[in-house]
Structure 1
Amino acid sequence: MYLNYFGLADNPFSIAPNPDYLFLSPRHKEALAHLTFGLRESGGFVMLTGEVGTGKTTVSRKLMQQLPDNTQVAMILNPTLSALELLETICDELGIAYKDNQASLKHYTDLILKHLAQNHHRGINTILIIDEAQHLMPEVLEQLRLLTNLETNREKLLKVVLIGQPELQQLLKRNELRQLAQRITARYHLLPLNAQEVKEYVAHRLQVAGGDKGLFKASTLGAIYQITGGIPRVINLLCDRALTLAFTKQQLVVHRYLFMVAAGQILGEDVVRQRQGKQWTLILSGLMLAGVLLGYVAGSWHG
Structure 2
Amino acid sequence: MYASAFGLQQAPFSIAPDPRYLFMSERHREALAHLLYGLGASGGFVLLTGEIGTGKTTVCRCFLEQMPEHCQVAYVYNPKQSAIELLRTINDEFGVPHAPAAPGSAETIKDCIDPLNAFLLASHAAGRNTVLVIDEAQNLSIDVLEQLRLLTNLETTERKLLQIVLIGQPELRELLARPELEQLAQRVVARFHLDALSLPEVEAYVSHRLAVAGWSGALPFDRRVLARIHQLTGGVPRRINLLCDRALLGAYSAGVRSVDRRMLGRAALEVFGAMPQRAARPAGQRMLRAGATVVAVAGLACAAAFAVWTNRPHAVAAASPAAAAAAPAIEAVPTSAAGVPEPAATAAAPDAATAPPASDFRLAAVLPGLAGSEDTALRELAGAWDAGLPPAAVNCNTLAARDLRCFRASRAGLDLLHQLDRPAVLTLHFSVGSSRRQAYVLLRGLDARGVILELDGQPRSVTAAELARWWRGELLTLWRASAKDSTTLDARLAQALPDLPAAMPRAERISRFQLAHGLPPDGMAGPLTAMRLNRASGVQEPRLQGN
Alignment TM-score > 0.5, same fold: yes
Match of 2:180 in 1: 176
Give, as a single letter, the amino acid of the residue that structure 1 aligns with 2:138: Q
> Structure 2 matches for 1:45-194, cutoff 5 A?
45-99=45-99, 101=104, 103-194=107-198
4+ residue stretches of structure 1 with deviation over 6 A? none
Match of 1:206 in 2: 210
Give, as a single letter, the amino acid of the residue that structure 1 aligns with 2:109: L
Q: Show CA shifts across 1:144-202 (max 9, x none).
A: 11111122333221111101111111111122211111110000011111111110111
Q: Does the residue aligned with 1:15 lie in a helix, a strand or coil?
A: coil
Structure 1: how far apart are the matches of 2:146 and 2:97? 24
How big is the shift at 1:10?
Answer: 2.1
How big is the shift at 1:255?
Answer: 2.1
Match of 1:226 in 2: 231
Q: 2:247 matched to 1:242?
A: yes
Match of 2:409 in 1: none
> Structure 2 matches for 1:3-82, cutoff 5 A?
3-82=3-82
Contact 1:119–1:125 (CA under 8 A) maintained in structure 2: yes
Q: Which fold has the larger relative contact order, with Cα–Cα distance below 8 Å and residues 6 or more apart in sequence?
A: 1
The change in CA–CA distance for 1:155 and 1:209 in structure 2 (over 3 A counts) is farther
Structure 1: how far apart are the matches of 2:169 and 2:24? 19
| Structure 2 alignment gaps of length 5 or more | 281-547
Match of 2:270 in 1: 265
Contact 1:41–1:155 (CA under 8 A) maintained in structure 2: no
Amino-acid identity (%): 53
Give, as a single letter, the amino acid of the residue that structure 2 aligns with 1:39: L
Structure 2: how far apart are the matches of 1:44 and 1:88? 20
Match of 2:221 in 1: 216
- Name the structure with the higher helix share: 1
How big is the shift at 1:73?
Answer: 1.3
Match of 2:459 in 1: none
Contact 1:43–1:184 (CA under 8 A) maintained in structure 2: no
Of the structure 1 ranges 96-105 and 219-228, higher mean CA displacement relative to structure 2 is found in 96-105
Structure 1: how far apart are the matches of 2:171 and 2:58? 20
How big is the shift at 1:4?
Answer: 1.0
- The CA RMSD measured in Å over matched residues stands at 1.8
Structure 1: how far apart are the matches of 2:226 and 2:244? 10
Give, as a single letter, the amino acid of the residue that structure 2 aligns with 1:12: P
Give, as a single letter, the amino acid of the residue that structure 2 aligns with 1:74: A
Q: Does the residue aligned with 2:221 lie in a helix, a strand or coil?
A: coil
Contact 1:46–1:160 (CA under 8 A) maintained in structure 2: yes
Match of 1:196 in 2: 200
Q: Show CA shifts across 1:58-109 (max 9, x none).
A: 1111111111122211111111100000000101111112226551100001
Q: TM-score, normalised by structure 2?
A: 0.49
- Name the structure with the higher strand share: 2
Q: Does the residue aligned with 1:246 lie in a helix, a strand or coil?
A: helix
Match of 2:431 in 1: none
Contact 1:50–1:166 (CA under 8 A) maintained in structure 2: yes
Structure 1: how far apart are the matches of 2:121 and 2:252? 59
